[in-house]
């Protein structure tokens, strides 16, 4: 039996009654089944939504883009394969799992292992600025083997999207068009870093969500 492929579709659409329903109908017309919807950001006149959708075996994901953008006011920001589990209260579960781990290092490892699923990124690391330069404390599976040898953005006072084209970013990260965000974790010289190969860029609401989550985890990790 062929596996049913699923994709994470990020769309910008007009924030008006009926727009999401029209999108659902358009995606359904190409056989897509919407499994979940998260509102990433809402502003005056538009919304950014993440949709996890399944396609019939053999169907091409480009069909989703064509169907969505045939609607007035809809723009597909990105589409990428989705392999994460669909879970309710993802942040709360992550916090519970961090708190249940034994010791600071294990708690940090739980954080970076689960953050990609919760925050919908490719990988996560914790980086510490030392007298001899930056040091990777822990990293998730999928984190680049090539670490950053410079972190001019540390110390970091608040969560922020990082300039992924800056000179300090390893070339292999840039080759994969990796977008980056970070938040202070255990004081301004230690940060949790998120990487999203292939984009899209981090929205302000996603950066704020990262900062909120990192702040809570910092109190647990101690």
| Beta-sheet strands, E only, within the chain | 6-14, 33-43, 46-54, 75-81, 123-130, 133-139, 160-162, 179-184, 190-196
Q: For residues 100 and 89, give the distance between their C-alpha atoms in angstroms, rounded to a whole number.
A: 17
Q: What CATH number should be reported for the domain whose range is 6-81? A: 3.30.70.260
**What pLDDT shows up at residue 216?**
86
Q: Which residue has the tokens 């708690």?
A: 107
Q: Label residue 25 exposed, middle or buried (CB < 10 Å: 0-12, 13-18, 19+).
A: exposed
Q: What confidence category does residue 118 fall into, taking pLDDT thresholds of 50, 70 and 90?
A: confident
Fold of domain 90-221: Beta-Lactamase (3.30.450)
**What pLDDT shows up at residue 120?**
87
Q: What confidence category does residue 67 fall into, taking pLDDT thresholds of 50, 70 and 90?
A: very high
Q: What confidence category does residue 89 fall into, taking pLDDT thresholds of 50, 70 and 90?
A: low
Q: 12-29 pLDDT, tens per residue?
A: 999 887 888 899 999 999
Domain ranges of the chain: 6-81, 90-221
**What pLDDT shows up at residue 113?**
96
**What pLDDT shows up at residue 110?**
96
The pair of three-digit structure tokens given for residue 77, joined into one six-digit string: 């920001």
**What pLDDT shows up at residue 85?**
52
Backbone torsions φ then ψ of 162, nearest 5 degrees: -100, 150
| pLDDT above 50 (res 86) | no
- Please name which of 75, 77, 73, 65 lies closest in space to residue 19, comparing C-alpha atoms: 73
Q: 187-218 pLDDT, tens per residue?
A: 899 999 999 999 899 988 899 889 988 998 99
């Amino acid at each position: 039996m062929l596996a049913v492929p699923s994709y994470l579709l990020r769309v910008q659409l007009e924030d008006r009654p009926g727009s999401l329903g029209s999108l659902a109908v358009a995606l359904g017309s190409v056989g897509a089944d919407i499994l979940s919807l998260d509102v990433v950001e809402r502003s005056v006149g538009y919304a950014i939504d993440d949709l996890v959708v399944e396609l019939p075996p053999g169907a091409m994901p480009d069909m989703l883009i064509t169907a969505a953008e045939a609607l007035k006011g809809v723009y597909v920001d990105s589409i990428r394969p989705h392999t994460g589990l669909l879970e309710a209260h993802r942040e709360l579960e992550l916090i519970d799992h961090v708190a249940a781990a034994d010791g600071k290092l294990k708690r940090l490892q739980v954080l970076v292992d689960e953050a990609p699923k919760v925050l919908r990124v490719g990988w996560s690391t914790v980086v510490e600025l030392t007298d001899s330069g930056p040091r990777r404390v822990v990293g998730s599976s999928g984190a680049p083997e090539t670490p950053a040898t410079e972190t001019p953005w540390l110390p970091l006072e608040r969560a922020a999207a990082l300039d992924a084209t800056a000179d300090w970013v390893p070339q292999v990260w840039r080759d994969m068009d990796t977008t980056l965000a970070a938040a202070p974790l255990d004081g301004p010289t230690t940060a949790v870093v998120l990487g999203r190969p292939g984009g899209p860029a981090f929205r302000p609401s996603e950066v704020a969500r990262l900062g909120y989550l990192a702040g809570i985890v910092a109190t647990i990790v101690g």
